[in-house]
Every structure is written in C-alpha cells, then in structure tokens.
C-alpha cells in the first residue's frame, strides 16, 4: 500500500495530471478482477482469448 501512496504523491508533486485517468482505470480494473474471481468471470475471459 505504501507504493501506491508514494506513487500518488509523486503524481501530485510533479504535476503529472495526465496520468490520473490511467491510474484510475488500472485500479478499477484490478479491483473488478479481484472481486470477480468466481467461475462466471473465468468463462468470459476464456471466450475473449
């Protein structure tokens, strides 16, 4: 968790505002994949590849 807070502080201090949408999308996608570890999601991912 400290890596995430350090990265967010880096973005704020260096004024890298264009990276915020990318960070939010990655966090939301990782949260979604973490919460949906069930078999229903695995069949969907299998059909994509």
**38 φψ region: left (φ > 0), alpha (ψ -120 to 50), beta (else):** beta
Tokens found for residue 11? 């973005």
Tell me, what DSSP letter sits at residue 7?
H
What tens digit of pLDDT does each residue of 1-49 get?
788 889 888 888 888 888 888 888 988 888 887 777 766 667 777 777 7
Domain regions of the chain by residue span: 3-48
Q: What is the pTM of this model?
A: 0.55
The greatest distance separating any two alpha carbons of the chain, rounded to the nearest whole angstrom, comes to 42
Tokens found for residue 40? 């229903």
Confidence (pLDDT) at 11: 84
């Amino acid at each position: 968790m400290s890596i995430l807070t350090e990265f967010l502080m880096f973005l704020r201090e260096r004024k890298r505002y264009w990276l915020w949408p990318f960070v939010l999308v990655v966090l939301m996608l990782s949260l979604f994949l973490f919460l949906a570890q069930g078999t229903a999601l695995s069949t969907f991912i299998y059909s994509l590849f």
